[in-house]
Amino acid sequence: MKKWFGSAGICLNEKDELLMVLQGRSDELKKWSVPTGGLEENETFSECCIREMEEETGYIVELIEEIHVKKGIYEERNLSFEVHYFLVNVIGGQPQIQDPDHLIYDIDWKSKNEINDLELTYPEDRKLLMDYIQGL
């Protein structure tokens, strides 16, 4: 079984809106997710999160803390995964898609009410995202 490791950034603005990206391959339905990407060689989970946030959104972020680790298996893909979720804060940059994989189609700040109705890439993340927003 192949293993995939990655990081995700959870970032709120001053209006308690969550930074999200619309993503997907060109031949599939586009869905929303927090910025997420795979670990590169010799990269830490923290470094991966910072890099992916800038690549997918254009924002430069600082890490606040690691808040969650999601592990699982996609049987249909013969793939196990481990994703580390970090709270992050924007410290620079501006919204700009710079994704080298060409999987990002939009960047937006989404309210709690919008997140309830969004089609998510990872539907299992909805509770984590809502808990985070409501906990602040």
For 33-67, the pLDDT digits (tens) are 999 999 999 999 999 999 999 999 999 999 999 99
Give the pLDDT score at 133: 85
- Which one, of 26, 33, 32, lies nearest residue 7 by Cα? 33
The model's pLDDT over 70-88, given as tens digits with 9 standing for 90+, comes to: 999 989 889 999 999 999 9
The string over 77-114, giving b where at least 16 C-beta atoms fall within 10 Å of a residue's C-beta and e elsewhere, is: eeeebebbbbbbebeeeeeebebeeebbeebeebeeee
CB-CB contact of 46 with 87 (8 Å): no
Give the pLDDT score at 136: 55
The model's pLDDT over 10-21, given as tens digits with 9 standing for 90+, comes to: 999 999 999 999
Give the pLDDT score at 134: 83
Give the tokens for residue 43: 């990269």
